[in-house]
Amino acid sequence: MKEPTKIGFAKGFKRTPQRLAILAYLEGNTSHPSAEEIFHAVVGKDRTLSFATVYNTLNTLSKAGALRELTIDPSRKRYDPNTGAHHHLICMSCKKVVDVPEEISIDLPKTVAQNFFILGNHVEFYGVCPACRKMQKNV
């Protein structure tokens, strides 16, 4: 009598080949892919996959809390299967996004918090990745 460990396997969710392929691609993925990137990667495994299914699945997983929608890129959503508290390092040059696995606790003085009940935070660090640093030096 095992509890299902993953969304998509929970009661009321069907174990479709499309979902399994998307989940397999996402599992442990740290590249913060967009819907389009997910579609292209997964359609290679499951030829029948449609774009609409990618969106459906991503929305279902997000609502179920099994996936985090990142609002980091001004032009599209990116998806992160790591739902634990962590942060991101963004290369301002090539736009690569890298995980910062630490939790960061920041205390805001009450005056600053303006009576908000604070539940969490997300830090985006902006910088230049090693590869881009090298490029810049060569120019």
- Give the binding site for DNA (CB under 7 A): 11-19, 34-36, 48-53, 55-57, 59-60, 74-77
Q: Which of DNA, its own copies, none interacts with 133 (beta carbon under 5 to 8 A by kind)?
A: its own copies
Q: Which of DNA, its own copies, none interacts with 15 (beta carbon under 5 to 8 A by kind)?
A: DNA
Cβ neighbours of residue 113 under 8 Å, at least 6 residues apart? none
Residue 92 touching its own copies (CB under 8 A): yes
Cα–Cα distance between 78 and 64 in angstroms, integer? Answer: 17
Cα–Cα distance between 35 and 50 in angstroms, integer? Answer: 11
CB of 77 to its own copies, least distance (A): 6
Cβ neighbours of residue 58 under 8 Å, at least 6 residues apart? 22, 35, 38, 67, 69, 79
Residue 103 touching its own copies (CB under 8 A): no
Q: Which of its own copies, DNA, none interacts with 14 (beta carbon under 5 to 8 A by kind)?
A: DNA
Cα–Cα distance between 55 and 50 in angstroms, integer? Answer: 9
Q: Which residues bind its own copies (CB under 8 A)?
A: 69, 71-74, 77, 89, 91-92, 98, 100-102, 104, 106, 108, 112-130, 133
